[in-house]
Amino acid sequence: MAAATKRRSTRQSASRKRSIYYEPDTDEDDFEASGRSEEDFVPDTYSEVAPEPVPKKRKVERKRKPQTRSKAAAARTKQTTLVRAFRINKARRAPSASTPVKKGFEGPSDGNIPNWKALPEEVLKQIFIYASLPVDEFSRDASANATWLLKTARSVCRSFGLAALEALYQSPPLLNTYHPHQLLDLLQMPRDDRYINYNVKVHRLNMDVRTVAYAASGRPSLHLPQLVFQLPQLQHMEILHPRYYPPFRPVKVQKWTFSPTDLIKAFEDCGTRLRTWRWSRDTIPRNDPVELYKTMSTAHESIVFAHLQRLVVTGFNVDDSFEPSVPETNSEGEPQAQPPGLATSIAKLPSLVDLTFISCDTIMEKFLQRLPTNLQRLELTNCLEITSEMMRDFFKTSGSHVKELVLNHNAALNLSFTTSLKELCPRLEVLKVDLHYYSEKDSVNDAEALYDELLPESDIPSWPSTLRHLEIIHAQKWSPEAAQNLFRSLVDNAPELLQLRTLIFHAHINIPWRDRAGFRDQWIERLGRVYLRRNGSPNEKLGSIRQFKLWKATQIKSSPKSGATDELSGDWDENRPVRSRRAVVVQPSPYKSTGDTQGYSDSEVERERPAKRQPRRSRRVAESQASVMDKTATPWAECDSESDDGSDVEDWRRAPEKFIQGLCSTVDIRIDNQRPRENQWTEGDFMDDELSGDEDWNEDGEEEEDGYAW
């Protein structure tokens, strides 16, 4: 058996290897070198004959190919790009920003800066709140916004300090495990040691469960009742869980729960009156459902929830459901008291107007009918048991008060309920439907709709006249006839939808591409023609007061004197009555694209604009053809009129629309045959910032074969 040897370190072995190749200088070497003369360093001369030079290779001149102007320009561009790319010590190109840089006003200005410090504190607070949203989310943008508020309060202006701090502490950002403890320490400090009374400034508290589930280094676990006891003005509180956000799959988070009884007791002791609350099943101990709903019913009947307006319920599944189905009777025939369920507990909230369910499979059968009848907003997200029949039953009992309806990612819910919206929901103002679904597991692709058809061909939707916002995205699994019925219902009901301002519809229809192209052109153009607002471009002379004065002085000097004066070009008389302006209803041309806009003005300002540059030839040809069609078939002509040149224009292009609403600021219609996926890849995901290809190659350059490649 060989003797054990000690393993040498890497540093020792490296030093030993280095000692082989050099010797350190010594005094003896210096002494020997100092005795030498200059002649010793003269190089020796060799009498050997120098070798003959190698003959150069013969240059082969290639015949130049005929070069066009476009090829020469492309070659120069490629060569210049290569020189820039391989230049030594070049400045590194900054990464392209996702958002373009906004430029300020570059026109003439008086340079007068408004006295922002004189604004009331409440106005400054609202400005900072609007400019810093979001500030309490678990994201990088929220952290940057919070940092901006702190810098504004400390270093920008002393008058902004209090308003910026109030905007920050109205909803304090708790973005890591230390922030809750630091906030509690700040609230417990003596009043004389603090700049302001932070306790009364906090009105909203949104906490991610990841900030309280893990204990900070050197800190104990957060006691939530101790924190809320220091916030007497708290009105909105939610404990957020990442599981209830898309893609709605389990996330590895340490288990953390709180006692609802202790928390409600802390609210009562400090006199809190909540307006927003969230019940999350993952943050409540897994006790008997009967005891859980008794605790919830007791909390809803307390003074803390007497003014609750918004409630969010997440994660209540079928196992947690304990809804009484049929009332039982005792031996004497009297109805027997039954324990409350989830819906009956929610019904005990007297002021509830906004209710949200996320990933709650307990919603089935008659659940929605047990909810309060005075709901104004209902949101159902990722609830797999929701169907159109259940929605109709809910509309019959509580639909008369609903103003906003949000239905997202419900795999069993189709659009059949839209046939009764006008009758059962006469006050509906906002309808948002997202038909994109997610898989329950990463390894299985089961993100499919559970219904047979999104909208049967025999169903025609009806829309209430109070509708302001209509948004339906990822509409899939339906026929082109059903989609045509839905689009036609929007066009036919345009005289009644005078309140509609936003129309967003994204549909996926699996038909041949030629038919789909014609279908897309027809309904995108028709819906844009009926609903899109045609706004003129803003007046370029009104960029600033100084710019307007200069332009007005120029107009006065250039125009001849006349008795008539104009509002923009003449002198302003305060005693002169202001001329009333009416909105001119303009019938847009049916041959204009939905993206084109045209301005209309009754003044001479638009006529004096300089002529634009000459458009491209293809655009001029298209516009000339459109002008010819406008002359042959105008919107005011009869439907049976035909063009004189015999153009094969479709009937829907020649036929005028019965009514032009023209009040929607947003009309976004998309029709394709894509299949919605969790990650939608686009062309931008496959584009490279750097130029590809061999930019150094020049096809017209002469080859020199007497050198080396490198």
**CA-CA distance, 691 to 160, in Å (whole number)?**
47
- Asked if the peptide bond before residue 134 counts as cis, ω within 30 degrees of 0, the response is yes
Report helix, strand and coil shares of the chain as percent, to nearest 5.
35, 10, 55
558 membership: H or E segment, kind and range: helix 545-558
Grouped pLDDT means (10 residues each) for the chain, 710 residues: 46 46 44 44 46 58 56 55 46 51 74 86 92 77 86 88 92 91 93 91 93 88 92 95 91 90 93 95 86 91 95 88 57 60 92 96 88 94 94 91 96 95 95 94 85 94 96 94 95 96 95 92 94 88 87 84 45 42 38 36 38 45 46 38 46 86 95 85 73 62 58
Structure-token match 């710019």, residue found = 547
Report the pLDDT value the prediction gives residue 507, as an integer from 0 to 100.
95
Give this prediction's pTM: 0.70
Name residue 354's amino acid: D
294, 261 contact by CB (below 8 A): no
Helix (H, G, I), strand (E, B), or coil: what is residue 379?
A: strand
Residue found by looking up tokens 């029709």 in the block = 671
Q: Choose among 176, 242, 170: nearest CA to 211.
A: 176
507 burial level (CB within 10 Å; 0-12, 13-18, 19+): buried
Work out whether strand 502-508 and strand 666-672 pair parallel, antiparallel, or are unpaired.
parallel
pLDDT at 145: 87
Round to whole Å and give the CA distance between 268 and 303: 8
Please report the pLDDT score of residue 215 as a whole number. 85
H/E stretch holding 357: strand 354-358
Bridge partner list, 313 = 279, 357
The Cα–Cα gap between 278 and 356 comes to 9
- Longest CA–CA span in the chain (Å) reads 136
Give backbone dihedrals phi and psi of 368, rounded to 5 degrees, phi first: -65, -25
Q: Residue 261 is which amino acid?
A: T
At 318, the amino acid letter reads V
Give the model's pLDDT for residue 75.
56
Q: Are strands 204-208 and 236-240 parallel, antiparallel or unpaired?
A: parallel
pLDDT in tens, 88-124: 444 444 445 555 666 777 778 888 888 888 999 999 9
Across the beta sheet with 276-280, the strand order is 204-208, 236-240, 276-280, 310-314, 354-358, 377-381, 404-408, 430-434, 469-475, 502-508, 666-672
CB 260 within 8 A of CB 224: no
**pLDDT in the model for residue 650:** 66
